[in-house]
Amino acid sequence: MAVSSSNGTGLERVELAGTSREIGLQHGRLLAGKIRSQIEVYGNMFLHTSKLDWKAVREVAKEYAGPIERLTPDLYAEMQGIADGAGLELMDIVALNCRSEIALGHFSDGCTSLGWKTQKEGVILAQNWDWTEPVKRNLVLMSIARPGYPKIFMITEAGIVGKIGFNSASVGTCLNAIRAKPTDASKLPIHIALRICLDSRSSSAAIAKLEALGGIASSAHILLADVDDGPRSLELSPRGNVYISPDARGIVCHSNHFIENRHVVEPPWLSGSAARLERIRALTADLADEGTPLTAALLRDRVFADTFNAPQAICCQEDPETPEVMRSSTAFNIITRFVRGEEPSAELVYGRPGSGEEGPVLKMPW
């Protein structure tokens, strides 16, 4: 049975269970209002960035629908269920799930991520996720229980089947947007790839599945981790992938440009990306040298609340020189921890950490 509840922050929490179609129907029925709001938000963005109205967006989405149905029929059935549950067309939901690919790299969501395999505190997987205020209103905490798969706990946009979180097998994901060409509609959208990772029982199994399915349709970065192997940086593109392991301290960081992947054309786009990467590397090196226990509170305070190089800081602020429809700020911070022999868990803060305006610390699982 699907359950929906509030946690006092405005961030809705939904619990979904059953077959792929049942999960989709529950998703659509519970979140119909937020899904329609997301369509309106992205409709405005597509008009601004790509000169496409929503009817044209749905036509482009058809190019991705066939490969999604062929390669991941279970997730296609889930998307059909979302559409039916929300009283929408299937291509509305497909469009939301491949919004990054349809935009041809014009969206400018930021994000700074950190993976750390520590000696004492287990594996840490964390990030700030930056995007626009209207999208932030339609974020939801979601659990998915499907027979034969680990249980998923994630924060996602209403209508999107995979994003940032972890599962009961201690596998987790973070996401960094990359703006690069080309795209390839014969491959899987990045949000489908994230769900494949969250459906997996190990990082190696997730990577093997992505490779077996032919890779992804657009360039993106997934920071993937599990309890045994720790974090791994996946610089993914339609023309080839590069996997980056942690440094000697067990740390791997990423922002919004490829560090090693040269398979695609990547013009400079977010001027603050390099500065954020250098900054998070320096801040985590300082913590490693100090040897201070790495609590989530410490990481929020010392790393993810950092405003160096504002507005394009790790803790991102809106830039008044950016068109209003595309202004980004940090929407949430999530810090996940995997410890062998213990249940995986995460702390999430809705809003900009350290700003004084963020919400309370939310626990996952709830």
pLDDT digits (tens, 9 = 90+) for 214-253: 999 999 999 999 999 999 999 999 999 999 999 999 999 9
If pLDDT is split at 50, 70 and 90, which confidence band does 109 have? Answer: low
- Asked if the model's pLDDT at residue 323 lies above 90, the reply is no
Judged by average pLDDT, the poorest of 47-51, 222-226, 300-304, 361-365 is: 47-51
Judged by average pLDDT, the poorest of 23-37, 60-74, 165-179, 259-273 is: 259-273
In contact, 140 and 30? CB cutoff 8 Å: no
3 state SS of 195: helix
Q: Closest by alpha carbon to 194, among 229, 270, 142, 244?
A: 142
Predicted TM-score of the model (pTM): 0.96
- Asked if the model's pLDDT at residue 35 lies above 80, the reply is yes
The amino acid sitting at 86 is A
For 13, 144, 176, 295, the CA distances from 173, given in Å and listed in that order, are 19, 15, 10, 19
Q: What is the pLDDT of residue 57?
A: 95
In contact, 78 and 161? CB cutoff 8 Å: yes
Q: Closest by alpha carbon to 44, among 130, 104, 103?
A: 103
Kindly provide the b/e burial profile for residues 15-26, where b requires at least 16 CB atoms within 10 angstroms of the residue's own CB. Answer: bbbbebbbbbbb
Mean pLDDT of 162-189: 96
Q: What is the pLDDT of residue 147?
A: 98
What is the Cα–Cα distance from 291 to 120, expressed in whole angstroms?
10
Q: What is the pLDDT of residue 319?
A: 87
CB atoms within 10 A of CB 37: 17
What is the Cα–Cα distance from 322 to 319, expressed in whole angstroms?
6
- Asked if the model's pLDDT at residue 164 lies above 70, the reply is yes
What are the tokens at 39? Answer: 């369509």
3-state percent breakdown (helix, strand, coil) of the chain, nearest 5: 35, 25, 40
Domains and CATH numbers, the chain: 17-102 (1.10.10), 112-364 (3.60.60.10)
Question: Could you read off the pLDDT of 334-350 as tens digits, one per residue?
Answer: 999 999 999 999 999 99
- Asked if the model's pLDDT at residue 267 lies above 90, the reply is no
In contact, 163 and 157? CB cutoff 8 Å: yes
Q: Round the average pLDDT of the chain to a whole number and report it.
A: 94
- Asked if the model's pLDDT at residue 212 lies above 60, the reply is yes
- Asked if the model's pLDDT at residue 1 lies above 60, the reply is no
Judged by average pLDDT, the poorest of 52-56, 266-270, 275-279, 281-285 is: 266-270
Q: What is the pLDDT of residue 49?
A: 82
Give me the residue label for tokens 């979904």. Answer: 16
Strand pairing partners for 154? 142, 165
If pLDDT is split at 50, 70 and 90, which confidence band does 325 have? Answer: confident
**Any idea what DSSP says for residue 303?**
I
Mean pLDDT of 72-95: 98
Q: What is the pLDDT of residue 322?
A: 80
Give me the residue label for tokens 């993937």. Answer: 224
